[in-house]
């Protein structure tokens, strides 16, 4: 009755972001593809060995991706967008789909990257599959099969992971009008049959087939499609149908009718589903219990998990498996590297390596191993003792949150009245031009930051260096003739981590990196206690930048919901309460900025859409407190202070009411990759305030031409009144070079001036 243990996936970036650096070296032409492949192989073997050393029953294979696992599935299926599909797909094909291809790269007209959006309610981005009615699918990319061979040869017992066919279709989009991508399912299933047959020939017994959309409230036609899909692909290997991020309550009846061999459920996001699912589980199925949180960094209370699982173990015996709730892709790699964390907080955490060990230890304890039972008890003590830690709960913060009334979240004047004040104070032209906040984080900036943190550069010298970078950014913007400037954020390592470092209640790490997309990694801070602002954070930098120019300088803040979503939250209080604490801290910062003469303040909320619960019935409760938190942070602004917010890579249709309810004076959004498609939501809703639709895709190396930007602005003007339009990039420019940035912004400003003149002549 040995309990099978496994994880759903492991971080692929490496403990020291080895994959990130190798990818970027390859893209810059500094290393050969063979060197990149070598780095990937080393990481895979280390990941498999980590799982084996932890004592897990399987090493998960197929979770490694050069850019994104959905994009890897696209190549596996031979489903490359036509603009990138010349010849047999290879690694460079994959990068072209993910990053786009510039004219300089190919000596041609260039090809746009595929759309990118958030993976459910996480901060991970995936490359959206594109579907046309004449699409065909054929196994064309050998990575999965090669990695199975690699792992087996290295002595590991493997469990491949594969994104399921229905989820793959659901997560994509039609690029042609007049057809439903679900009609492609029979063709797609033929390719899945071939994949599973090939894995069977390699000796694979179990395949983890991920169908995360089963945790959504699916439309009937999508839910019904699972029956056909799994009738077709069953038979060659055992299938562990895998769900995560929410319960399967709405789809359980359909799931139980499928010809699979087991079901994985996420018992972190939805612990109450355990008894219901276990009671109805078919006699021949295994139940994989996802009890170790793959999306947070807190040490598990293994005693609590034992108590929940022991009755199920008695009922199911060895048909109960123990697992992580979801892939550990969303966790940092290894806590052992964090040598400088305070000992009292370090004992509260577990990263991916430690989570694999937690899964294995819990499995042994369920089998009655006395040593493991004792170890579980000892392991759980620090997280239990934390509950009574007096540094965690602060009465002054809780008093402020408990005092919230409706008036705390309201501006002192309606938008129409504010717009009149702002027009007088700001004096901006029609179609104002601006950027989203950050400018290139150069090697010089990063070197100086590292030297300062290592004690090799004094605080005075570091401050002087930062002022030099700010002055340079202001000078460049004035030369470009942008209308609203930003200070460039040279002092910030990350839009969330920077605030976490300057607010009480957070713990930051040195090596807690998590992949966001491609080579882009973020290092989320950890909310360890009640949050408060002890002193101003951004005022000094913004006022210094304003002193260098007569143009309007925009203050830059990260919103409460985004800080919440892009950090690892506490698990002992609600997300709503954390957001409210953050809102009050930012409210104080807004007050200080405007008192210092900053008349435009941007409070970024790019994560507000991704924070939505997966079940639609839970959306409104979340949106109510998310909107309230943003409004609390902005409500101290005077009528003449213009509040901006920014959102990127979000589908706005279903939350447009709430976006409008934020009552920001100006909202900037991503629209260039979607060719202004996202503006449809704002047009149909008749969004009342000002909008800056992004006209420069900063996630691609492509430089948009002036003509291209003009075309996008004209499209935008068909949907938004010209007097309420702004021109700006999709997102911050932190990851681009100055050469790319200045070339693109030159075209943006020139295009805006041309369109401005065009509109004036028509008036």
- Determine the pLDDT at residue 650: 60
Tell me: the pLDDT tens digits for 449-496? 999 999 999 999 999 999 999 999 999 999 999 999 999 999 998 899
Q: Does the annotation list 475 as a binding residue?
A: no
Tens-digit pLDDT profile for residues 611-621: 889 999 999 99
* Residue 112 · residue 673 · CB < 8 Å: yes
Q: Supply the residues annotated as catalytic.
A: 699
Give the pLDDT mean for 366-375.
Answer: 96
437 is in an annotated binding site: yes
Higher pLDDT, 605 or 695: 605
Q: Which of 11-15, 271-275, 327-331, 728-732 has the lowest mean pLDDT?
A: 728-732
Q: Is 731 annotated as belonging to a binding site?
A: yes
- Report whether 235 belongs to an annotated binding site: no
The answer to whether the beta carbons of residues 445 and 487 sit under 8 Å apart is no
What is the widest separation between alpha-carbon atoms in the chain? 84
Q: Residue 20 annotated as binding?
A: yes
Residue 540 pLDDT greater than 80, yes or no? yes
Average pLDDT along the chain = 94
Per-residue pLDDT at 107 exceeds 50: no
Share of the chain above pLDDT 90, in %: 83
16 and 43 Cβ atoms separated by less than 8 Å: no
Q: Of the ranges 109-118, 287-296, 428-437, 686-695, which one carries the lowest mean pLDDT score?
A: 109-118
* Whether residue 349 has pLDDT greater than 80: yes
CB burial class (10 A; 0-12, 13-18, 19+) of residue 321? buried
- Average pLDDT in the 153-175 region? 97
The pLDDT of residue 484 is 98
Helix residue spans in 519-655 (DSSP H): 539-546, 560-565, 575-595, 619-634
Determine whether 369 is exposed, middle or buried from the number of CB atoms within 10 Å of its CB (0-12, 13-18, 19+): middle
With pLDDT > 70 as the criterion, what percentage of the chain qualifies? 97
**Distance between CA atoms of residues 289 and 694, nearest Å:** 43
Model pTM score = 0.90
Q: Is 648 annotated as a binding residue?
A: yes
521 labelled as ligand-binding?
yes
Highest mean pLDDT among 303-307, 395-399, 405-409: 303-307
What pLDDT is attached to residue 678? 66
pLDDT (0 to 100) of residue 426: 96
Q: Is 436 annotated as a binding residue?
A: yes
Mean pLDDT of 92-107: 76
Is 628 annotated as contributing to ligand binding? no
Per-residue confidence (pLDDT) for residue 105, from 0 to 100: 53
| Nearest CA-CA partner of 188 in 207, 166, 160, 211 | 166
Determine whether the annotation assigns residue 123 to a binding site: yes
Rounded Cα gap, residues 559 and 631, in angstroms: 10
3-class DSSP assignment, residue 70: helix
d(CA 347, CA 382): 6
Report d(CA 711, CA 730) in Å as an integer: 16
Higher pLDDT, 601 or 683: 601
Q: Is 187 part of any known ligand binding site?
A: no
Task: Tell me the per-residue pLDDT of 664-716, one tens digit each, with 9 for 90 and over.
Answer: 999 998 877 666 666 777 777 788 899 998 888 887 788 989 999 999 899 88
Overall average pLDDT of the 270-298 stretch: 97
Predicted confidence at residue 675, as pLDDT, reads 66
Report d(CA 59, CA 71) in Å as an integer: 22
Give ∠ CA 647-653-659 in degrees, rounded to 5.
Answer: 45
Distance CA 294, CA 330 (A): 6
List C-alpha distances in Å: 739 to 274, 299, 440, 466, 745.
Answer: 55, 45, 10, 20, 10
User: 520: annotated binding-site residue?
Assistant: yes
Which phi and psi angles does 640 have, rounded to 5°? Answer: -80, -5
* Range in 226-240, 324-338, 645-659 the model is least confident about: 645-659
Confidence check: pLDDT of 584 > 80: yes
- The tens digit of pLDDT for each residue in 201-221 reads 999 999 999 999 999 999 999
With a CB cutoff of 8 Å and minimum separation 6, the contacts of 640 are 418, 421, 422, 424, 425, 599
């Amino acid at each position: 009755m040995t309990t099978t243990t496994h994880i759903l996936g492991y971080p692929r970036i490496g403990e020291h972001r080895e994959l990130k650096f190798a990818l970027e070296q390859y893209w810059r032409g500094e290393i050969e593809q063979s060197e990149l492949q070598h780095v990937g192989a080393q990481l895979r073997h280390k990941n498999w060995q980590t799982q084996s050393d932890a004592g897990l029953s399987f090493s998960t294979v197929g979770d490694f991706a050069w850019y994104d696992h959905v994009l890897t599935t696209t190549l596996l299926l031979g489903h490359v967008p036509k603009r990138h599909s010349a010849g047999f797909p290879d690694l460079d094909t994959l990068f072209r789909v993910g990053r786009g291809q510039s004219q300089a790269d190919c000596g041609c007209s260039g090809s746009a990257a595929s759309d990118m959006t958030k993976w459910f309610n996480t901060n991970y981005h995936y490359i959206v599959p594109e579907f046309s009615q004449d699409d065909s699918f054929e196994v064309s990319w050998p990575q999965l099969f090669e990695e199975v061979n690699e792992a087996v040869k290295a002595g590991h017992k493997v469990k491949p992971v594969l994104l399921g066919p229905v989820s793959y279709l659901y997560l994509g989009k039609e690029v042609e009008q007049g057809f439903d991508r679900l009609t492609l399912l029979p063709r797609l299933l033929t390719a899945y049959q071939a994949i599973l047959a090939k894995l069977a020939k390699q000796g694979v017994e179990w395949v983890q087939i991920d169908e995360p959309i089963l945790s959504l409230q699916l439309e009937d036609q999508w839910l019904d499609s699972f029956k056909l899909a799994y009738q077709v692909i069953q038979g060659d290997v055992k299938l562990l149908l895998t769900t995560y991020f929410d319960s399967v309550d709405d789809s359980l009846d359909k799931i139980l009718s499928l010809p699979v061999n087991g079901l994985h459920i996420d018992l972190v996001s939805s612990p109450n589903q355990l008894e219901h699912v276990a009671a109805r589980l078919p006699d021949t199925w295994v139940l994989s219990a996802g009890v170790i949180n793959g999306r947070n960094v807190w040490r598990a209370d293994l005693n609590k998990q034992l108590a929940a699982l022991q009755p199920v173990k008695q009922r199911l015996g060895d048909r109960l498996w123990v697992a992580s709730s979801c892939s550990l892709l969303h966790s940092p790699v290894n806590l052992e590297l964090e040598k400088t964390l305070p000992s009292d907080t370090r004992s509260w955490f577990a990263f991916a390596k430690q989570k694999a060990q937690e899964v294995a230890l819990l499995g042994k304890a369920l089998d009655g191993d006395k040593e493991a039972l004792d170890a579980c008890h000892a392991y759980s003590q620090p997280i239990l003792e934390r509950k009574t830690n007096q540094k965690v709960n602060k009465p002054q913060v809780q008093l402020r949150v408990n005092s919230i009334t409706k008036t705390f979240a309201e501006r002192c004047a309606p938008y129409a009245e504010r717009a009149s004040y702002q027009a007088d104070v700001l004096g901006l032209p029609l179609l104002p031009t601006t950027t989203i906040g950050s400018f290139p984080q150069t090697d010089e900036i990063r070197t100086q930051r590292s030297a300062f943190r290592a004690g090799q550069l004094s605080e005075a010298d570091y401050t002087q260096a930062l002022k030099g970078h700010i002055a340079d950014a202001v000078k460049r913007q004035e030369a470009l003739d942008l209308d609203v400037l930003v200070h460039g954020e040279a002092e910030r390592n990350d839009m969330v981590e920077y605030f976490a470092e300057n607010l009480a209640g957070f713990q930051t790490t040195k090596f807690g990196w998590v992949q966001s997309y491609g080579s882009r990694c973020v290092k989320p801070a950890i909310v360890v206690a009640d949050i408060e602002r002890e002193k101003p954070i951004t005022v000094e930098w913004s006022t210094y930048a304003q002193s260098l120019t007569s143009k309007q300088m925009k203050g830059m803040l990260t919103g409460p919901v985004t800080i919440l979503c892009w950090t690892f939250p506490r698990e002992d209080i609600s997300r709503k309460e954390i957001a409210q604490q953050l809102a009050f801290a930012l409210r104080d910062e807004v007050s200080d900025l405007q008192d210092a003469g900053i008349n435009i303040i941007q409070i970024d909320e790019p994560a507000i859409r991704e924070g939505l619960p997966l079940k639609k019935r839970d959306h409104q409760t979340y949106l109510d407190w998310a909107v309230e938190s943003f409004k609390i942070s902005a409500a101290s602004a005077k009528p003449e202070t213009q509040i901006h917010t920014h959102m990127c890579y979000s589908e706005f249709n279903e939350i447009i009411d709430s976006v409008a309810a934020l009552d920001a004076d100006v909202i900037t959004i991503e629209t260039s990759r979607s060719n202004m498609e996202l503006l449809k939501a704002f047009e149909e809703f008749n969004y009342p305030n000002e909008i800056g639709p992004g006209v420069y895709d900063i996630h691609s190396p492509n430089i948009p031409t002036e003509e291209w930007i003009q075309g996008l602005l004209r499209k935008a003007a068909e949907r938004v009144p010209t007097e309420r339009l702004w021109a700006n990039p999709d997102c911050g420019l932190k990851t681009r070079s100055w050469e790319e940035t200045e070339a693109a912004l030159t075209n943006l400003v020139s295009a805006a001036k041309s369109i401005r003149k065009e509109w004036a002549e028509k008036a």
